[in-house]
Amino acid sequence: MSETNQGHKYPIIERWGDALNSALLGIHITYFIIFMAMGIKIMMFFNIFSMAIYAIAYMFYAQKPLLAISATFIEVLIHYMIAVQCVGWGAGFQNYCFANVVICFYVGYAFNKDGIAGFHAIPVSIVSSACFFICWLEARFHEPIYFVRPRDIELLRLMNDTFILVILISFSYVFTNRILTERRKLTRNAKYDELTHLPNRHYVDSIRKRRNLNDPDRSPEYAIAIIDIDNFKTVNDTYGHDIGDDVLAELGALLLQYKNDNTVTARWGGEEFLVICFGDSPKDRLIDICEEIRKTVEAKTMYFDGFSLKFTISVGAASKDANEVFEDTFKKADQNLYEAKGTGKNKVVYK
């Protein structure tokens, strides 16, 4: 594997890992300056160590993300535990535990998406929570190593609460937004054909329900056409399925041009496509559309390496009659398609 490709091996981890690293590095630079000004040497030197960890972690997210994120969690745990011993409970360093818990569940999700095993959010969150209570016990029975003026404690508490709040808001937003994005993608994939980008049978089912096509009393006027690619098996057997997919995609792209509020175009399955027209005079519009599509396909030549290919389509069309449900109209269109295929192909049959 090339070095360039390795750099994009874990896209989600690298993307948010770099952002998290940058944020934590900035936080520790700020703490280094503050602790140096307050004369708290233990935390000043530990923040130098922390900055070194985050600087080195940049190099590991691409190749060893589990190592990089583990080092980040361990550093945060040790940092807030030592900080509580140095300046006390009142400064609020122990509250980074809450940010740690939220982040570890997002990390578990991101690792799963990138196919990385070995990170378990629940045990990590339990360890982080245990450290929180250890800090509480330490603060309850021991005085801080350094005396810090109350106003400086208040300043540290404000800074910590602000940083933690920003982290929690950011990760909650990122996580929620990603879940909603993937939900929309799954919904689209469930109703759209990946090859042709046309709606699929599930989408047509939703149209049937939305427009009451199974209720003859409430159903609007509509007409259906079933489009079938002539001799499609021969195309696959002669040129291969890749060329067959190109033919399907070509017809799909053509049908997409006719999709609007009153015209549904969909891939029904295999080499069969569906057109449904609603609105005024759906029968006339459907026949016009199908004839236009048929002529366009007939006149088109597809060019490939070393050869060219022409194909045709046959169409069976029908319109809804009184007391008919969708299946009834579909069966009439299917019968007309059968007739079109059996009487020479490359034609539109409507009865």
Note the pLDDT tens digit of each residue in 275-321. 999 999 999 999 999 999 999 999 999 999 889 999 999 999 999 99
> Residue 116 corresponds to which tokens in the numbers above?
């990385």
With a pLDDT cut of 70, the percent of the chain lying above it is 94
Domain boundaries, the chain: 3-191, 201-350
Where residue 2 falls among pLDDT bands split at 50, 70, 90? very low
- To which residue do tokens 């361990």 refer? 74
Dihedral of alpha carbons 201, 206, 207, 211, sign: positive
Q: Tell me the CB-side half-sphere exposure of residue 165, using CA atoms within 13 A.
A: 7
Backbone angles phi, psi at 218, to 5 degrees: -110, -10
Rounded average pLDDT over 67-82: 88
pLDDT at 335 over 70: yes
Q: What is the pLDDT of residue 107?
A: 80
pLDDT at 3 over 80: no
Mean pLDDT of the chain: 89
Q: What is the pLDDT of residue 11?
A: 58
Where residue 14 falls among pLDDT bands split at 50, 70, 90? low
Between 50 and 182, residue with greater pLDDT: 50
At the top level of CATH, which class does the domain 201-350 belong to? alpha beta
Which segment of 7-11, 177-181, 254-258, 304-308 scores lowest on mean pLDDT? 7-11
199-252: pLDDT as tens digits: 999 999 999 999 999 998 899 999 999 999 999 999 999 999 999 999 999 999
State the Cα–Cα distance between residues 171 and 148, nearest whole angstrom. Answer: 32
